[in-house]
Structure 1
Amino acid sequence: MKLLRKRLLVGTVVVMALAVGGIWYSFHRAKPTTDHVNHDQEVHQQYTCGMHPMIITDEPGTCPICQMDLTPVKAGTSGPAASAADAGERKIKYWVAPMDPTYIRDEPGKSPMGMDLVPVYEDEAPSGATIAIDPVTSQNMGVRTATVERRDLYRLIRTVGTVDYDEPKVTSINAKVDGWIEKLYVAETGQLVKNGQALLEIYSPKLVAAQQEYLLALRNREALKGSTFTEISAGGDRLLEASRQRLRYWDISDRQIRQLEKTGQVRKTLTLYAPYQGVVTMKMAMPGQFIKAGQELFRIGDISKVWVYADIYEYELPWIKVGQKAEVVLPFVSGKILSAEISTIYPYVEPKTRTVKARLEFSNPGFELKPDMYVNVRVRAQRVQDALAVPGEAVIHSGEKQRVFVALGDGKFEPREVKTGVQDQDGFIEITQGVLEGEQVVTSAQFLFDSESRLREAIQKMLEPKEVEQAPVDNHQGHDLSEEDLEALFE
């Protein structure tokens, strides 16, 4: 009897479950979806402050900052879904690369990675963070826009330059043998010397011995000239040539050697001559001084041609090229201007000044340019022609990325990631990717827009309704109940 009662209870529960499931299905099938739509609209309806657009709430009230009444946020300003529902026929705004949001075109095609471009419609933005601001609020915020246009970018670089010696024309004078300075002809630093001018006379026992050996070799060759033995005569010639070469290695000139051959007398001192023309920039020689082989005695620099080193900052490097025209202004000669070209751009940065040296070469016949002198340098950079550009204040630099806000009309603004190039002297920045010619970009108050778009994007992600997973109707769900639960249900 008890078993029969239990089976009766199970059957009754199953019948009741089937009846309830059928009623629920019929009710929801026949009921229109307006309640669901209205519920979504209620969830998405938000309120903001006209003076502080960063304030967004889900309920009406007053602004916690200025105590003004909050106004409803226009539908479609927090994402493309609402706009798409009201748009009817959608119109393509531009085409964008799937993997690079800055690569946009006004017609379909391929991205640099070979992928098909995807369309972006006027009622949506790739980031989903399009914002809308009331015109009165925009006016109060001082929002201004500028047109993306093509223009020639130009920059005149002004910097300081330092005059220096022509490095290949700087000479070090030293003796190749040990000895004593008997007489000094050039006794002042800054003295101008000519090529072949006598610098000093040096006494060296080695030079005296070398002269004597040369005279002996010369007499020996003269004595062997009438010899019938060819080998002996050739040996005398080789000995004489070796003695002559030894004198040359010690900087004894051919003229001095000929004088030695002519007189036949050994000189106590021999004279060292200047190999180049220039100015004595360093003198380490004094009369009577003992010098060793290799010791530097003079340093001579030719300033008939000088170099000017111009300091170029890192951000100016894209404008600098070898061969560009440059001007040097002499501030001490009533602004005299000298013209030249950039001959070399050095491949390293000065660690102290954080600049790169650009070298200019000038002829200096009147010695107006003096080493270590400061001059003003002007470099006329080559124009970047037909570049897509926007005002510099329109670009927001946030770490590794750059962003602009594009005005879509009707108070709507779209954040757009861009890639930039050079910046000219008028403040315009080249845009290589991210915008199209003729679009309007925001040039003021865009930092508030940036905060607003980021905040709304974050709120949108948090408030986005999740799809409720409805469990399927189980016509046999009563079978999962135990007998004890069924008895408790009917007690």
Structure 2
Amino acid sequence: MKPMGRYFFVISLGVLLGVSGSMVLGGKTFVLNAVETAIGKDSNKTGGEESGERTPLYWVAPMDPNYKRDKPGKSPMGMDLVPVYDDQDEGDTPGTVKISPDVVNNLGVKTGVVEKDTFDATVRTVGYVQYDEDKLVHIHPRVEGWIEQLFAKSEGDRVTQGQPLYSIYSPTLVNAQEELLLAINRDNARLISAAMERLRALQVPNEAIQKLRDSRQVSQTIILRAPQSGVLDNLQVREGMFVQPGMSMMSIGVLDRVWVVGEVFERQAALISEGDQVRMTLDYLPERQWSGVVDYIYPSIDSETRTARVRMRFANEDLALKPGMFSQLTIMSDTMTETLQIPRQALVRTGSQSRVVLALGEGKFKSIEVDVGRIGWESVEVLSGLEEDDRIVTSAQFLLDSESSRTSDFQRMEHSGNADPIHGNSPVETVWVPARVEDVMPDHGMVTLSHAPIAVWEWPAMSMNFQAADTVSLEQLKAGMDVHVEIERVAEDEYLLRDVHVDDVATQASNDSVVDHGVGGGASSDHQDGMSHEGHGAGESKQ
């Protein structure tokens, strides 16, 4: 190939790769550009080429927003790192996210309004049809013997009160009959009464006792009859079987009225009270609907399913409800108290916090902490953290919360220049801040971090020791790691490392010092000179 042809070939190849790279980057860096807490508008310029005095907070890989550095360089894929700037307007609180209207539309961001209304405490759950245990009778023998004949031979058979169930041969019953005849022959009223009471105690029917007195002949088998009408269930015997006291032979249940036991989540148990109206439907009869009330709330929670049981009673004259059926229950709690409410999908729940994303207008969003109460089917009760008519994000809020929570102080925004009525001017107890691991002391449960400035506590960038919470795994931390850490103020001049998000597990070169370059905060080495912040963390700050 001629030199001139080779030259044009290289130029064409570069243009082609540039276009392809732009297409790839446009897809992979969408989130990075979408939630631009502080991303510069011109990402093709480096820090040295920026006009004015804007200083990048840090540099990030175009295809991996978690790959951050405190100076320009190359990403693991060989791409130039993109500078990230602090573009927050004056007066914006930490954690404010600003995105353009086009990106808001592309992300599918939807918002809703905090409203005060009667809380919909409707609980929807499932239940199981059961026999009415108040009318469930179990049949057990009181003597040992052999089943001579079984009159009710199948589960599900309907029986009526007084109907024969089975006949039994028992030497004990034969002896008891002979004792009565002996007492009658002696004409001893006291012995006769005692013998008859013994027969009744052994479940011998009165008609069998009277027949014995009239005929003066001992019966080798005694017929036992049904104590109530109902349906035969749990049949455990067959003809010829030997039975003894305590053995479960069969049960008789009543179906004209049944129980339905539902299971509700632990957090929903407080929404339900005895007497609440219940609507029930079945899959196999979708056109029908049963109405009942909450009859009883069981006092314990199942340790495995973490659910509470609730019992309802339903009339069942046509026997459409059968034990073991699966049903859908709608329990309508009677509540008339008006409360602040947000849509359930707007709530972001973590292991230690409940948060929502405030829509501040002009493309600005901020993640804040809220205290929630009852959680209904579609709405959540807000106890504190929001005010009526506040606008919150109900769609794509997890993406916005992920970006905002990295630097958010989780305080409420002030309304009309007034202090937040919920939190007032009390100090922030928990903050997230970028940092670098300097040393790990697992035996002491401590870690040395060089963290960025913390504006809400008026801390400059510095190196200091922190006692780690029990939930923090120090094994995952190594010197040189770039991390985001959650620091909690547990007492005056006492701070705890509450949580750690690892940004990059690679060990950095010694010349990439966090202190020298001010990780994530754009702090220069001038901020470090002579800095000693006594009492913060678990030990003295390093110089």
TM-score range, shorter chain: 0.5 to 0.7
Paired position in structure 1 for 2:418? none
Paired position in structure 1 for 2:217? 265
Identify which of 167, 179, 187 aligns with 1:213.
179
Does 1:76 pair with 2:90? yes
Structure 1 length as normaliser, TM-score? Answer: 0.61
Does 1:434 pair with 2:399? no
Does 1:357 pair with 2:309? yes
CA offsets 1:444-471 (integer angstroms, 9 cap, x no match): 565436524634874542358869989x
Does 1:55 pair with 2:60? no
Does 1:387 pair with 2:348? no
SS at match of 1:454: coil
Q: Following TM superposition, by how much is the alpha carbon of 1:348 offset from its aligned partner in structure 2, in angstroms?
A: 4.2
Identify which of 117, 129, 144 aligns with 2:94.
129
Match for 1:364: what amino acid? N
Matched ranges for 1:376-415 at <5 A? 376-383=328-335, 385-407=337-359, 415=367
Match for 2:259: what amino acid? W
Q: Following TM superposition, by how much is the alpha carbon of 1:399 offset from its aligned partner in structure 2, in angstroms?
A: 2.8
Distance change (3 Å), C-alpha of 1:263 and 1:352: same
Paired position in structure 2 for 1:422? 374
Q: Following TM superposition, by how much is the alpha carbon of 1:251 offset from its aligned partner in structure 2, in angstroms?
A: 1.0
Paired position in structure 2 for 1:178? 144
Q: When the two structures are aligned, how many residues end up with a matched partner? A: 359
Q: Which moved more, 1:183-192 or 1:246-255?
A: 183-192
Matched ranges for 1:188-207 at <5 A? 188-207=154-173
Q: Which moved more, 1:61-70 or 1:457-466?
A: 61-70
SS at match of 1:266: coil
Measured in 1, the distance between the counterparts of 2:408 and 2:137 equals 71
Paired position in structure 2 for 1:253? 205
SS at match of 1:248: helix
Measured in 2, the distance between the counterparts of 1:203 and 1:467 equals 99
Measured in 2, the distance between the counterparts of 1:449 and 1:296 equals 60
SS at match of 1:257: helix
Distance change (3 Å), C-alpha of 1:372 and 1:55: same
Between the two structures, name the one with larger relative contact order (CA 8 Å, sep ≥ 6). 1
Q: Following TM superposition, by how much is the alpha carbon of 1:432 offset from its aligned partner in structure 2, in angstroms?
A: 0.5
Identify which of 166, 171, 174 aligns with 2:132.
166
Distance change (3 Å), C-alpha of 1:438 and 1:59: farther
Does 1:240 pair with 2:224? no
CA offsets 1:242-261 (integer angstroms, 9 cap, x no match): 21221112112333323333
SS at match of 1:280: strand
Match for 1:76: what amino acid? E
Measured in 2, the distance between the counterparts of 1:278 and 1:145 equals 58
Measured in 2, the distance between the counterparts of 1:293 and 1:453 equals 68
SS at match of 1:195: coil
Measured in 2, the distance between the counterparts of 1:50 and 1:271 equals 84
Q: Following TM superposition, by how much is the alpha carbon of 1:175 offset from its aligned partner in structure 2, in angstroms?
A: 2.7
Q: Following TM superposition, by how much is the alpha carbon of 1:429 offset from its aligned partner in structure 2, in angstroms?
A: 2.4
Paired position in structure 1 for 2:487? none
Q: In 2, are the aligned partners of 1:178 and 1:204 still within 8 Å (CA)?
A: yes
Q: Following TM superposition, by how much is the alpha carbon of 1:388 offset from its aligned partner in structure 2, in angstroms?
A: 0.8
Distance change (3 Å), C-alpha of 1:305 and 1:49: closer
Distance change (3 Å), C-alpha of 1:180 and 1:450: closer
Paired position in structure 2 for 1:152? 118
State which structure, 1 or 2, has the greater radius of gyration over its C-alpha atoms.
1
Q: In 2, are the aligned partners of 1:319 and 1:382 still within 8 Å (CA)?
A: no
Measured in 2, the distance between the counterparts of 1:452 and 1:275 equals 70
SS at match of 1:216: helix
Match for 1:437: what amino acid? E
Distance change (3 Å), C-alpha of 1:220 and 1:305: same
Match for 2:37: what amino acid? P
Distance change (3 Å), C-alpha of 1:70 and 1:240: closer
Match for 1:418: what amino acid? V
Q: Following TM superposition, by how much is the alpha carbon of 1:185 offset from its aligned partner in structure 2, in angstroms?
A: 2.7
Measured in 2, the distance between the counterparts of 1:193 and 1:360 equals 26
Q: In 1, are the aligned partners of 2:97 and 2:400 still within 8 Å (CA)?
A: no
Q: In 2, are the aligned partners of 1:161 and 1:311 still within 8 Å (CA)?
A: yes
SS at match of 1:346: strand
Q: In 1, are the aligned partners of 2:37 and 2:87 still within 8 Å (CA)?
A: no
Measured in 2, the distance between the counterparts of 1:326 and 1:417 equals 35
Measured in 2, the distance between the counterparts of 1:375 and 1:51 equals 45
Does 1:275 pair with 2:240? no
Q: In 1, are the aligned partners of 2:37 and 2:88 still within 8 Å (CA)?
A: no
Measured in 2, the distance between the counterparts of 1:321 and 1:164 equals 21
Measured in 1, the distance between the counterparts of 2:178 and 2:84 equals 112
Distance change (3 Å), C-alpha of 1:135 and 1:169: same
Measured in 2, the distance between the counterparts of 1:286 and 1:412 equals 77
Distance change (3 Å), C-alpha of 1:387 and 1:55: same
Measured in 2, the distance between the counterparts of 1:296 and 1:456 equals 65
Match for 1:129: what amino acid? P
Matched ranges for 1:244-393 at <5 A? 244-333=196-285, 335-350=287-302, 355-383=307-335, 385-393=337-345
Q: In 2, are the aligned partners of 1:49 and 1:70 still within 8 Å (CA)?
A: no
Greater share of residues in helix: 1
SS at match of 2:211: helix
Measured in 2, the distance between the counterparts of 1:305 and 1:412 equals 59
Paired position in structure 2 for 1:33? none
Paired position in structure 1 for 2:17? none
Q: Percent same amino acid among aligned pairs?
A: 30
Q: Following TM superposition, by how much is the alpha carbon of 1:273 offset from its aligned partner in structure 2, in angstroms?
A: 1.6
Q: In 2, are the aligned partners of 1:155 and 1:381 still within 8 Å (CA)?
A: yes
Q: Following TM superposition, by how much is the alpha carbon of 1:49 offset from its aligned partner in structure 2, in angstroms?
A: 7.9
After superposition, the CA RMSD in angstroms is 3.9
Q: Which runs of 5+ in 2 are unaligned?
A: 1-31, 41-45, 51-55, 64-79, 410-432, 434-451, 455-460, 462-520, 532-543
Measured in 1, the distance between the counterparts of 2:85 and 2:221 equals 105
Measured in 1, the distance between the counterparts of 2:122 and 2:529 equals 63
Q: In 1, are the aligned partners of 2:36 and 2:98 still within 8 Å (CA)?
A: no
Q: Following TM superposition, by how much is the alpha carbon of 1:191 offset from its aligned partner in structure 2, in angstroms?
A: 2.0
Distance change (3 Å), C-alpha of 1:306 and 1:415: closer
Distance change (3 Å), C-alpha of 1:141 and 1:425: same
Q: In 2, are the aligned partners of 1:51 and 1:137 still within 8 Å (CA)?
A: no
Measured in 2, the distance between the counterparts of 1:250 and 1:185 equals 20
